[in-house]
């Protein structure tokens, strides 16, 4: 297939390119040429800007496009409308954050979607991210439903994407921190549910879905069987061989000390958002989604982390000082 990938040099986009290249597809990447511009010298790359700089795409044709980095509906509309006659299939990467009630467990693809009063807002916040993704989905669906070919849009709603090359550190923190050993502050309870998807499994399913010409909406998270926070940390300890011990602190303590879920405390969300860790992904699994062992994800993430600079500035997780202060406060309370 001839595939156009919008983005393609960071995390998910990178994994999609790797999977597509390995499968022998003919690739074109379209991006601003700012992130890892030398990563794929053998692949055609078109430099432009999806916000008003789409000229390099005009007059070209591909079988399908995979849009990995759309956040604002006005901008996504530009690429979707331009490519409506240039591709037969449009995959848009959305998010499980589109659902209106993050406390509701077992949300499937028919769940009520989030809305926002000012749909022209172009600022990503905790409150706006989900509704903006909803509007982006709608923009793609409108563009790809026009004409006589029928609906040609695939809307992918991943949960937390993890694995090598993750710039957010929202999973990497745990293999790294547990490998350091010692007393580790662990959030909530060991039975707290967790849902993640390895970026490579997600990329391979996206390629499978494009080749199968799937359309409609799919939640993407895993694994197939329930996963618990305690199990994740135990496996991090086993794989790293560290002497880590886990001190589980309560949700009320974390909130009292303003520990930010998902960022300072990766993988963990309060009960009010527990639905984000219990999304129904049976539709994607029935459509071919498979999961590699968690041990492989942990080991590969830890190995990749070891290749980063020693002075790397972490974007997620607790600093050693902050963790020590919180543990001291917890023990004092106890």
- Identify the pLDDT of residue 270: 93
Percent of the chain surpassing pLDDT 70: 99
Q: Distance between the two ends of the chain, CA-based, in angstroms?
A: 61
Mean pLDDT for the chain overall: 96
Q: Is residue 115 scored above 70 in pLDDT? A: yes
- Identify the pLDDT of residue 308: 94
Contact 178, 245 (CB under 8 A): no
Q: What is the mean pLDDT of residues 177-197?
A: 97
- Identify the pLDDT of residue 137: 98
Cα–Cα dist 158/96, whole Å: 6
**Band of the pLDDT at 178, cuts 50, 70, 90?**
very high
Q: Is residue 149 scored above 80 in pLDDT? A: no
The DSSP bridge partners found for residue 46 are 30
Find the length of the chain: 334
For residue 188, which phi and psi values (nearest 5 degrees)? Answer: 70, -120
The predicted-structure confidence for 291-321, as pLDDT tens digits, reads as follows 999 999 999 999 999 999 989 999 999 999 9
> Which residues are CB-contacts of 256 (< 8 A; sequence separation ≥ 6)?
none
**Band of the pLDDT at 156, cuts 50, 70, 90?**
very high
Q: How many CB atoms lie within 10 A of CB 60?
A: 14
Contact 143, 90 (CB under 8 A): yes
The predicted-structure confidence for 256-295, as pLDDT tens digits, reads as follows 999 999 999 999 999 999 999 999 999 999 999 999 999 9
The predicted-structure confidence for 93-114, as pLDDT tens digits, reads as follows 999 999 999 999 999 999 999 9
Contact 48, 56 (CB under 8 A): yes
Q: Is residue 147 scored above 60 in pLDDT? A: no
The predicted-structure confidence for 211-223, as pLDDT tens digits, reads as follows 999 999 999 999 9
- Residue 148: C-alpha distances to residues 88, 98, 151 (Å): 12, 29, 9
DSSP line for 77-126: HHHHHHHTTT-SEEEEE--GGGBS-TT-SS--TTSPBP--S-TT-----T
Cα–Cα dist 2/9, whole Å: 18
Contact 178, 317 (CB under 8 A): no
- Identify the pLDDT of residue 151: 80
- Residue 272: helix, strand or coil by DSSP? helix
- Residue 228: helix, strand or coil by DSSP? strand
| Helical segments of the chain, H only | 11-22, 73-83, 129-145, 173-180, 199-211, 229-240, 251-256, 282-286, 294-305, 320-333
Q: Is residue 7 scored above 80 in pLDDT? A: yes
Q: What is the mean pLDDT of residues 137-163?
A: 89
**Band of the pLDDT at 150, cuts 50, 70, 90?**
low
Domains of the chain by start residue, with CATH: 2-158 (3.40.50.720), 164-194+224-277+293-333 (3.90.25.10)
Cα–Cα dist 202/183, whole Å: 33
For residue 321, what are its two tokens? 């000082």
**Band of the pLDDT at 148, cuts 50, 70, 90?**
low
264-276 per-residue burial string, b: 16 or more CB within 10 A, e: under 16: bbbbbbbeeeebb
- Identify the pLDDT of residue 334: 80
The predicted-structure confidence for 35-92, as pLDDT tens digits, reads as follows 999 999 999 999 999 999 999 999 999 999 999 999 999 999 999 999 999 999 999 9
Q: What is the mean pLDDT of residues 176-185?
A: 98
Phi/psi class of residue 107: alpha, beta or left (left: φ > 0; alpha: ψ in -120 to 50)? beta
- Identify the pLDDT of residue 217: 98
């Amino acid at each position: 297939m001839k595939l156009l990938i919008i983005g393609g040099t960071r995390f998910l986009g990178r994994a999609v390119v790797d999977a597509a290249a390995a499968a022998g597809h003919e690739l074109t990447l379209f991006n601003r040429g700012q992130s890892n511009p030398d990563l794929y010298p053998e692949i055609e790359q078109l430099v432009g800007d999806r916000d008003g700089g789409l000229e390099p795409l005009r007059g070209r044709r591909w079988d399908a496009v995979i849009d990995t980095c759309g956040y604002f509906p006005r901008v996504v509309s530009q690429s979707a409308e331009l490519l409506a006659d240039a591709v037969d299939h449009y995959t848009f990467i959305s998010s499980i954050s589109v659902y209106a009630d993050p406390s509701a467990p077992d949300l499937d693809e028919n769940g009520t979607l989030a809305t926002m009063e000012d749909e022209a807002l172009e600022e990503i916040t905790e409150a706006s991210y989900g509704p903006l993704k909803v509007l982006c989905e709608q923009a793609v669906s409108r563009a790809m439903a026009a004409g006589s070919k029928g609906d040609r849009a695939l809307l992918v709603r991943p949960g937390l994407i993890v694995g090598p090359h993750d710039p957010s550190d929202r999973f990497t923190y745990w293999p790294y921190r547990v490998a350091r050993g010692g007393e580790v502050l662990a959030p909530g309870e060991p039975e707290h549910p967790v849902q993640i998807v390895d970026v490579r499994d997600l990329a391979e399913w996206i390629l499978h879905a494009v080749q199968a010409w799937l359309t409609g909406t799919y939640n993407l998270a895993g694994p197939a069987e329930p996963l618990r926070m305690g199990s994740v940390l135990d496996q991090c300890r086993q794989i790293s061989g560290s002497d880590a011990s886990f001190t589980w602190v309560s949700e009320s303590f974390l909130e009292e000390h303003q520990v930010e879920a998902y960022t300072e405390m990766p993988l963990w969300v309060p009960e009010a958002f527990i639905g984000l860790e219990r999304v129904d992904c049976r539709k994607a699994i029935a459509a071919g989604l498979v999961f590699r062992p968690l041990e492989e994800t942990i080991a590969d993430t830890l190995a990749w982390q070891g290749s980063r600079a020693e002075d790397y500035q972490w974007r997620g997780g607790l600093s050693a000082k902050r963790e020590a202060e919180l543990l001291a406060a917890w023990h004092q309370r106890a």
